[in-house]
Structure 1
Amino acid sequence: MRITTLAIFAATALLLAGCTSDAPAAAGDPSTAATSTSPDAEPPGDSSSEGTVALRGDWEDPQAEWVVHLEEDGTFTEDFEGLTDFRVGTYEVEGDIVRLLGDDGNTDEGTVVGSGDTTQLEFNLGTLTRQ
C-alpha cells in the first residue's frame, strides 16, 4: 500500500513539473501584469493618472474625525480620531472609484461624487471634502 501511495505521489509531482515553463511570458500576458518588479514600473496611483492628479490634496470628514492626505507620488496618509499618520499606503483612481490600499493589507474603496469645488469622496466610514 505504501509503495502505491508513493508511486502516485511521484507521478503527480512529475506531471505538475511538466506544467511549468521556463519560457519568458509573452508581452501583454495578464498573468505577469501584477508581478512586475521593473524599477521603472509606475506605482499604484501613479502621478500621471488624470484622476489621481485631480484628487491630490487634503480631504476631511470632521464628523468622523478623519483626514486623508493624497500625495503627488501616489501615496496617502490618514489621520483618524486625533491620531496623526494613523495609516499609510498607496491610492489609485479608476474612473469614479478611488481605492486606498493600506500598508496594513486593508483596502478602502470609495466613489468620487461631483466635480470642481463640490467634489466629495464617499467611503463607508464617511464622506470626505477637500480641506
Structure 2
Amino acid sequence: MRIATAVFLLAALTACGPLDGGSDEPTPSPSASSSTPSAAETNPVPAAAADLVGDWEDPAEKWTVHFRDDDTFVEDYQGVKDFRVGKYSIADGTVKLEGDDGNTDEGTVEGETLVFKLGTLKRADSSSGQ
C-alpha cells in the first residue's frame, strides 16, 4: 500500500510541472531574444590593462594619456609632452593612474570612455599619427 501511495504522489507531482515554479519551456538565451547585438557586444568596454593600451584623449582639455603594454603611462597636457609618467591599473571599472610625482588619479570606465575629474578620455583616432 505504501508503494502505491508513493507512486501516486510522484505521478501527481510530475503532472504539476517543475518544482521551481518555472515553465517546462526552455528559457531563451539573451542573444536569442534579440536579433540586434547589444552595445556591449559590438563595442567592448575596457576591463583589463591590455584593453587600455593605446592613446586616449580629451581634446577640450588638451589632455592625452598614452597607455603602454608594460602597465606604464605617459601624459601630455596643455601642449606639454611627457607632462607626467607613471604606472596604471584597472580593476572593477576603476582606472588608477599612479604618477611618479606622487599623485594618484582615479577614473571610472563609462562605456567606451574613461571619466576623470580632469576630463573624459576617449580612444584616440589611430589615423591621427600619435
* Residue equivalent to 2:29: none
Deviations 1:104-130 (A, max 9, x none): 00000000111xxxx100000000000
What's 1:73 paired with? 70
Instruction: Please name the residue that 1:122 is paired with.
Output: 115
Aligned pairs for 1:83-122 (under 5 A) are 83-114=80-111, 119-122=112-115
Task: Extract unaligned runs of 5+ from structure 2.
Answer: 1-46, 125-130
> Is there any run of 5+ residues in structure 1 with no aligned partner, and where?
1-49
Letter in 2 for 1:128: L
Q: Cα distance, 1:95 vs. partner?
A: 1.7
Residue 48 of structure 2 aligns to a residue in which SS? helix
The answer to whether the Cα contact below 8 Å between 1:91 and 1:101 also exists between their aligned partners in 2 is: yes
Q: Once superposed, what is the RMSD of the aligned Cα atoms?
A: 0.8
After the TM superposition, list the runs of 4 or more consecutive aligned residues in structure 1 that deviate by more than 2 angstroms. none
Superposed, which structure 2 residues align to 1:41-60 within 5 Å? 51-60=48-57
Number of matched pairs? 78
Amino acid at match of 1:86: F
Task: State how far apart, in whole Å, the 1-side matches of 2:115 and 2:122 are.
Answer: 9
Tell me by how many angstroms 1:86 deviates: 0.2
Give deviations 1:81-109, integer Å, cap 9, x for gaps: 00000000000101200000000000000
Identity over aligned pairs, percent: 55
| Contact persistence 1:122–1:128 (CA under 8 A) | yes
Q: What code does the residue aligned with 1:61 have?
A: D
TM-score by length of 1: 0.59
